[in-house]
Amino acid sequence: MNVKDLLDLKGKVILVSGGAGSYGKSIVEGLGEAGGTVITASRNLTNGQAVAQAFRAKGLDVHAMQVDQGIHESVLSLKTKILKSFGKLDVFVNNAVARPMKGYEDSIENFAESMRINATGMMDILREMCDLLGKNGGGSVINISSMMGMYGPDLSNYEGTDMGNPPPDYFFHNGGLINLTRYLAKLMAGKNIRVNCVSPGGLFNNQPVRFLENYNKKVPVGRLANHDDIKGLMVLLASDAGAYINGENILMDGGLNA
């Protein structure tokens, strides 16, 4: 089969959780540009609709739905809406993240709140969407973790800034997601569902100049990720071109941790 046909997402229904967020928007755009029908789902429907509308204006087939992955009924309702509107699901990009914790000293209640959304809620939406994929004869799950799920923090990046220290919950749940990927890849054997993980490095988001100076000089590529960097990887893993990639965690950090 021609590689352009293998990469084509035409006819595929793709859910991106947190598709209105920073990396989420790039993921939605890339998958839409490759021909997919993309649904972004997050807590705030108005934000999601604005993102979907902007991409539709560019000719992409993007739709918005509401979900709070911390509420089981909300996850079930999303499932029902996807089936009713599109009849199936082919790809789930598990990208949403809640950030209730601000640093190491933050309250343990905020750690628990993070686990409610980023561990328990995330497992819930993963399991329910795998059920939809299975009912459709298989598909692809792409978990979005972080290089911070693979390595400890480089605290020297924050020197000279008022950014404080990075929150511990983020390292904990992103680390867990990488091994949950391997678990699910094995468990989904026989259901034709591939489960992979992408662990990106930092995305440029107008961070303080001092942080950029500290960070960029350590990256062989010389910069933070931009909005195009994640698109190709998403299309590869979502499409038939990635049919033999399964149970993998792909670090995408410009060589920072090489």
Ligand X SMILES: NC(=O)c1ccc[n+]([C@@H]2O[C@H](COP(=O)([O-])OP(=O)(O)OC[C@H]3O[C@@H](n4cnc5c(N)ncnc54)[C@H](O)[C@@H]3O)[C@@H](O)[C@H]2O)c1
Verify binding: residue 211, ligand X, rule CB under 6 A.
no
163 vs 203, which CB is nearer to ligand X?
A: 203
Check: CB of residue 90 under 8 Å from CB of residue 12: yes
Verify binding: residue 22, ligand X, rule CB under 6 A.
yes
Interaction pattern, residues 216-255, with ligand X; x per rule: CB under 6 A: ----------------------------------------
Verify binding: residue 98, ligand X, rule CB under 6 A.
yes
Site for ligand X in 122-181 (CB under 6 A): 144, 146, 174
Query: Which range in 84-92, 94-102, 179-187, 213-221 contacts ligand X by CB under 6 A?
Result: 94-102
**Encoded tokens for 225:** 């990720």
Verify binding: residue 66, ligand X, rule CB under 6 A.
no
- H or E element, residue 38: strand 37-42
β partners of residue 227? none
Query: Strand order in 37-42's β-sheet?
Result: 61-66, 37-42, 13-17, 91-94, 139-144, 193-200, 249-252
Instruction: Report the C-alpha gap between 249 and 143 in whole angstroms.
Output: 9
CB of residue 10 to ligand X, shortest distance in Å = 26
Query: Which range in 18-26, 103-111, 161-169, 183-191 contacts ligand X by CB under 6 A?
Result: 18-26
**Encoded tokens for 251:** 């670090």
Among 67, 78, 126, 195, binds ligand X (CB under 6 A): 67
CB of residue 2 to ligand X, shortest distance in Å = 32
- Count Cβ atoms below 10 Å from residue 77 Cβ, excluding itself: 15
CB of residue 219 to ligand X, shortest distance in Å = 13
Q: What is the dihedral of CA 36, 41, 45, 51, to 10 degrees?
A: -40
- In eight-state DSSP terms, residue 240 is G
CB of residue 47 to ligand X, shortest distance in Å = 7
Q: What are phi and psi of 10, to 5 degrees?
A: -60, 135
* Total site size for ligand X, rule CB under 6 A: 27
**Encoded tokens for 31:** 């998958």
CB of residue 117 to ligand X, shortest distance in Å = 4
Verify binding: residue 30, ligand X, rule CB under 6 A.
no
- H or E element, residue 236: helix 231-238
Q: Which residue number has the CB closest to ligand X?
A: 21
Verify binding: residue 78, ligand X, rule CB under 6 A.
no
Among 119, 163, 203, 245, binds ligand X (CB under 6 A): 203
Instruction: Report the C-alpha gap between 10 and 18 in whole angstroms.
Output: 22
11 vs 255, which CB is nearer to ligand X?
A: 255
**Encoded tokens for 81:** 């809406």
**Encoded tokens for 185:** 């890849």
Residues of this chain that interact with ligand X (CB under 6 A) are: 17-18, 20-24, 42-44, 67-70, 95-99, 117, 121, 144, 146, 174, 200, 202-203
